[in-house]
Structure 1
Amino acid sequence: MSLIGDEMVNVMEANTVGSNLSQHQRTRVALAPGALDTAIVKLMRNAVLGGDPKARTTLVAPTEATLFQGHDLWFSGDRARLPNDVIKDLRATGATHLLLLSKHRSDAWLQATHGNLGVGQLEGLGYYVNHTEEMFNQQTLVNARGWLAPYAHLRLALIDLEDGRILAQQRLRASRVLVNTRPDVDPSPWNAVPNEKKLSVLLDLVHQAVDEAVPKVMAPS
């Protein structure tokens, strides 16, 4: 089950020091209910079958808005506190275990060639935008002001549906830092990724993270 595709959060970095994301400007862009999560659970299934071709899977991509917030509160100690109606519905499919991809809040960790960038905390899927830092594009050998980073801050957990035990989990952080290739034509770092490609770039990040994490999470089962 994937519960990360209800929105894309665009974070505009403020000129401040610290880890309080509230000082940044955030814009939430609602996504078509279930569309992105449907693609993501297919990636999850492929990763599971890559390790166990005989595994039986049921793909779940909910659309109920209330299920997409506060995921970190679901995890306490070695137990997952999923809503009772969700557990009931999952058991009704005959499933014994849940492989859940959810949002996770953690410090910004945006991978650039010279280290990690970003301040504050990020959660789920989105784009982080810096308009002030001067960057050097190693491909074009041109300086550009600002940068854009697609990010995914997620949690992948394997849960026993009988008693809610968390059998294994991985916290996932995937990102890329991109610089404008033609700052003389368009100085805005936001346009380092065309709008029509922004979702596909995020999906690629999730694909990368899922392929790395699923074998680790499934190993104990």
Structure 2
Amino acid sequence: MFAMSLIRTAVGILLLLGSMSAWAENTPVRSYAVLSLAGDALALHVHRHQVGSRTESAPREVNAIDDPVFDQAAVIAARAAFLRLHPGAKLQLMTTQDRGLYLAQNSMFERAEAHEEDRAYLKKLLKELGVTHALVITKFRSVPELKLVNTTVGSGYLEGLGFYIDDMIETRNLKDQTSSRGMVVPFAYLRVRLIDAETLSVLKEAMSKQSFIITRPSADSSGMETFLNMPSGEKTGHIRQVLEDAIASTVQNVAAEPPISVERDRKN
């Protein structure tokens, strides 16, 4: 009787293993596309101090960028961050010139019914790549949190990539006690969504508000002069640095779980 019980147990284990093996063979493993819609423009915010306590926040200036340099940097950074979590994972990098996707980059997930055409186009692109999931990088709009040593500063709203300039703020370097007037702050306010390629359902998302402050105790008399005197290559380098920091933190949050099968995701 005991031997028969062992045999039945062994047969049950074999049947279970066989069922799991068949399930694994018939269930597609995740594959990913990475798409950036955040790099089509750079914003410039200028905060000017007036006489007394009055301040003025200049209208935001947004400059369109035809070169996909920042979108390319974003998807490459996302790929690197993802592979640190999942070495050997399959990813396909995407950029697009479709203005509709750029304009609808957040609202097509938040108000799907208003963007059926844009969503159908994105589904088509992902289907042609044959992927099961996508990481979609978009802009994120929020109040600024520009960190000094003991506080944060900033006014208005920041979104996407750009520079925040405080024209007259006084800062002091605690290491060498040098003081500066004005500061330039490259920023990347981004959102990364992990989506199902077939349905565009958002499985996970994460936001990042990355920035760092540039102050220069020099002949520059204001933050704007510091910005205007900065070579274009240096400005590009600062944006790439803050962009890569933002991508690394968001991908870490949305892709921390190991890649598993699509069917298992849907059952859960």
Aligned residue among 159, 174, 184 for 1:138: 174
**TM-score (normalizing by structure 1):** 0.86
- Percent sequence identity is 27
1:119 aligns with 2:155: yes
List, as ranges, runs of 4+ consecutive aligned residues in structure 1 with deviation greater than 4 Å: none
The alpha carbon displacement at 1:23 in A equals 5.1
**Letter of the aligned partner of 2:250 in structure 1?**
A
Q: Aligned pairs, how many?
A: 213
Shift of 1:140: 4.7
The equivalent of 1:33 in structure 2 is: 67
CA distance in 2, matches of 1:138, 1:194: 27
Give, in whole Å, the separation in 2 of the partners of 1:25 and 1:36. 24
Aligned twin of 1:74: 108
Q: Which string of whole-angstrom CA distances, capped at 9 and with x for unpartnered residues, describes residues 165-203 of structure 1?
A: 211110111001221231xx1223232654321111111
| Inter-partner Cα distance in structure 2 for 1:15 and 1:28 | 21
TM-score by length of 2: 0.72
Say if 2:169 is the partner of 1:129. Answer: no
SS at match of 1:120: coil
Q: Which amino acid aligns with 2:239?
A: L
Q: Which amino acid aligns with 2:244?
A: H
Residue of structure 1 equivalent to 2:253: 216
Q: Structure 1 residues 136, 32: closer, same or farther in 2, change over 3 A?
A: same
Structure 1 stretches lacking a partner, 5+ long: 17-21
Instruction: Report the equivalent of 1:19.
Output: none
Which of 67, 74, 78 is equivalent to 1:44?
A: 78
Amino acid at match of 1:211: A
Tell me how far apart the structure 2 counterparts of residues 30 and 136 of structure 1 sit (CA, whole Å). Answer: 34
Give yes or no for contact 1:112–1:176 (8 Å, CA) kept in 2. no
The separation in 1 between residues aligned to 2:100 and 2:251, in whole angstroms, is 26
Q: RMSD between aligned alpha carbons?
A: 2.5
Q: Separation in 2 of the partners of 1:151 and 1:69?
A: 20
Question: Which runs of 5 or more structure 2 residues have no equivalent in the other structure?
Answer: 1-34, 51-55, 260-268
* Structure 1 letter corresponding to 2:85: G
**Aligned-partner Cα distance in 2 for 1:202–1:109:** 17
- C-alpha distance after superposition, 1:43-76 (max 9, x if no partner): 1111111111221111001123333235332333
More strand by share: 1
Deviation at 1:117, TM superposition (A): 1.0
Among 37, 42, 47, the alignment partner of 1:3 is 37
Q: Tell me, what secondary structure is at the counterpart of 2:89?
A: coil
